A and B are shown apart, each in its own frame.
Chain A
Amino acid sequence: MRTRRRPGPHPRHRWSRPLALGVACTLVAALAACSDGGEQDVTVGLITKQETNPFWVAMKNDALDAADDHDVDLVTATGSSDVDVESQVEAIRRMTADGVDGILVAPTDSRALVPAIEEARAAGVIVIAVDTPTDPTSAVDAVFATDNRRAGALVGGYAREKVDQLGITPRVALLDLAPGIASGELRREGFLSGFGIEEGDPVISGSVDTEGDEDLARVGMRELLAEDPGINVVYTVNEPAALGAIAVMRDAGIDMAGVVVVSVDGGCAAMKSAVRPGDLDATAQQYPENMAAQGVRQIAEAVRGGDRPSGYLDTGVTLVTRYPMPGVASENVPFGVRNCWG
């Protein structure tokens, strides 16, 4: 027959409490050692152009996610516009003084930032240009960006096929970024080459700088239409500019079915309000997620003993359209909405 032990307090030895405390301290110390042992602290700075454009907001959020994934401290700074050089120069110098390990910077001016970047690199900071390359590109350790020329060529090639399908004689308007910013210049070059024309071609009705801003694009498009009401192909450097151009053409009573509008970006606002209904015929979707995630990851790996990032990383671009053209590789609008940013 079994006997049952009477319930009650167990006898305690005098040394049991200190022993338990000692074991606990040892465990805590061991755990702390384990958590610190493999991973060196890494601080990365991210400097974007501005915070009103959802592209830069998305890049910042993606960088925060990547920093979380790779156990990195992320500090951020931004300018007030796509051409605010001063704020970026100041941010690079401040981050360098604060001892960050690496900086991801989207230059507002490909040349004007180079001296500050060289100072940072001389102090041992890894610098990666994201979205926009520096001039010269050797001023930074690496460039992680959309192949802007290819992005332009994709929408240029699409526009050419659409023009041929519509059977119209093209009158082309070019809504550019601003002088001195490589990303805008490369997109324009790409568009012209994809469309099969060169600078100075007579089909080019005119071009304006928009700084990627919707309001400036409206002003510019009105000027271009005043000079040539027959414009029927519109290239815009980004989607806010495209939305501005479309609004002006609608106000002017232009039948959008006979106009081809193409752009570069892949943001959610334009994808849902312009690409999905077909006002914006096609856009080259770029991926700030890849710039931010790869930038944070590669700096963290380099600081922790891996290879230092170098060269150029193409962060990808995809043509998205509601109306696919035969022979032009593209994705549909649901893909664009799934992968849009902002």
Chain B
Amino acid sequence: MATPAAVAPQGAESAKAPLVDRRLRVPFFLLLLCFAAWGAAANLTDVLVGVFRSIFDMSNFQASLVQFAYYGAYFLLALPAAFINRRYGYKAGVLTGLGLAAVGGFLFVPASQALVYEFFLVSLFVLAAGLSILETSANPFVIAMGSERSATQRLNLAQAFNPVGANVGVLLGAVLILPALTSEAAKVIMTPDEIRASQEQDLGLVLGPYVGIAAVLVLIWLLIAFRKMSVPVEEDADALPRKGVGRRLWRNRHYRFGVIAQFFNVAAQTCAWTFTIIYAQDVVGFEPHEAGWFLQASLLVFLVARFVMVYLLGIFRPAMLLLVMAVFGVVCCLVSVVALNIVGLIAVVAISAALSLMFPTIYGVALRGLGDDAKFGAAGLVMAILGGALLPMVQGAVMDASGRTSLGFVVPAACLAVVAAYALFDLRTTRSEDAHQLAPAL
């Protein structure tokens, strides 16, 4: 999941400050691998929805429970992760996250032997729980690994490995899993025993990448666990919210609507990426191994568009650009609903261009002017990841009920319309109104 770059002060001396404390270069390198690992795991999950639908012959709604398990764990573990960091330090947080995620990866082994879908959901939940803790710990850990002046540069470098991992995750699915899956046509004439054997074989394909990721995580765990490092502990005073912050944030419409917009933005992103492969198969008729490349293309579009958006954000007002791209995203979704061919599929891929700026832009717009409350407010925006757990199930249900895969894309269209409405709200509402409301509390 995309996360905003850290905001840290940069002075004139930043060019001279070393990017990473010399003693922490190896741990820093290991953390870079962690950033790549959770990117890989998250986007491999997008591939899994179609894979499980095929292996277990289930509905789109049932298959989308994969995302519910994954993003649900991310949501539920966000606060416990913060507690671990504060109580035991970042290193403990990173080790807990790595360990839990590795356990989740290795749980795929018994799950694939049991041939029970729910077992896989539990494995994914544990894996994502670990990655949630890892992500929550690794971001501030990276910030603390050098001077404050180079913190932004350090975190941006680390986060650059996230999309690299995301692309690797989809590549793993496209190369190792999708081409070798037993075709539905072959299953039509199989006996129950033969179908069970094909399930075992196909789940063996799923097993490989996850056990591989788990093995890498264990290696990183060992390298970090047995390395002495002195990293600053998070200061309690900074972490404690000021009195009445919750009420102040709730009264701030820009923030409140921002959380809602972020919820639907994450939902739109997860919906689009979860059902890209399925759209390519069900609507256009691509083979699974061909369909995987369209998800890969989506991630590359997302990556390239993000750089373009960084440039455009220097020219246009963020809320205006957010509005334009959200409307563009809605149009792409609607094209994919009505154009039941390669044009519709290209529109699905193009949704990623619209999504590319949304997480950091909504983050920035919602937190603008919050002062010290921004730290606590940021948690609410990150927890909006819950949208990624819930809305794919709605999209799956729409697809199942209508018998039309394309119609499911009205769900991300509606989500992006909410984001557009938020951008419009921000453009039309002056901050002073909210500031006036906040004045007595401040």
A residues within 8 Å of B by Cβ?
268, 271-272, 276, 287, 289-290, 293, 313-318, 322, 332-335, 337-340
Contacts and interface: CB of A to CB of B under 8 A. Distances in A.
B281 interface: yes
A39 B307 CA distance: 53
Given A289-B183, A290-B189, A332-B403, 9 more contacts: A289-B186, A315-B189, A316-B185, A317-B188, A322-B403, A333-B403, A334-B399, A337-B283, A337-B284
A316 B183 contact: no
Nearest to B284: A337
A318 B57 CA distance: 15
B313 interface: no
B375 interface: no
B282 interface: yes
B184 A338 contact: yes
B110 interface: no
B291 to A, nearest CB: 10
A298 to B, nearest CB: 13
Given A287-B188, A290-B188, A290-B189, A337 B404 contact: no
A287 B185 CA distance: 6
A272 B403 contact: no
Contacts of B185: 287, 289-290, 316, 339
A108 B163 CA distance: 55
The 8 closest A-B pairs by CB, nearest first: A334-B282, A316-B188, A332-B403, A316-B189, A287-B185, A337-B285, A289-B185, A334-B405
A316 B183 CA distance: 13
Nearest to B183: A289
Interface in B390-439: 399, 403-405
B340 A272 contact: yes
Contacts of A335: 184
A271 B185 CA distance: 15
8 contacts: A276-B340, A289-B185, A289-B186, A334-B283, A334-B405, A337-B281, A337-B282, A340-B285
Count class of interface residues, chain B: 10 to 19
Contacts of B284: 337
A293 B185 CA distance: 11
Contacts of B282: 334, 337-338
B285 A272 contact: yes
Contacts of B340: 272, 276
A41 B232 CA distance: 68
A283 B442 CA distance: 69
A293 B405 CA distance: 29
Contacts of A287: 185, 188-189
Contacts of A290: 185-186, 188-189
A293 B190 CA distance: 13
Contacts, number: 50
Contacts of A332: 403
Contacts of B404: 333-334
B285 A293 contact: no
A335 B281 CA distance: 9
Interface in B310-340: 340
Nearest to B286: A338
Interface in B275-292: 281-285
A335 B341 CA distance: 16
B188 A338 contact: no
A337 B341 CA distance: 11
B376 to A, nearest CB: 45
A313 B405 CA distance: 33
A338 B399 CA distance: 15
A276 B282 CA distance: 11
A93 B352 CA distance: 57
A338 B436 CA distance: 57
B336 to A, nearest CB: 14
A313 B189 CA distance: 9
A337 B282 CA distance: 6
A119 to B, nearest CB: 31
Contact of B188 (A268, A276, A318): A318
Contacts of B399: 334
Interface string B332-372: 00000000110000000000000000000000000000000
A145 B281 CA distance: 26
A340 B341 CA distance: 15
A10 B282 CA distance: 63
A314 B183 contact: no
A314 B283 contact: no
Nearest to A332: B403
Interface centre among A313, A335, A339 (most CB of B within 10 A): A339
B46 to A, nearest CB: 18
A338 B403 CA distance: 13
A268 B183 contact: no
Contacts of A268: 285
Interface in B97-127: none
A338 to B, nearest CB: 5
Contacts of A316: 185, 188-189
B194 to A, nearest CB: 12
B216 to A, nearest CB: 31
A318 B284 CA distance: 20
B186 A293 contact: yes
A289 B287 CA distance: 13
A306 B184 CA distance: 26
A267 to B, nearest CB: 10
A240 B288 CA distance: 26
A314 B189 contact: yes
Contacts of A337: 281-285
A268 B284 CA distance: 9
A289 B184 CA distance: 11
Contacts of A333: 403-404
A332 B184 CA distance: 14
Contacts of B341: 272
B166 to A, nearest CB: 26
Contacts of B188: 287, 290, 316-318
B390 to A, nearest CB: 23
Contacts of B281: 334, 337-338
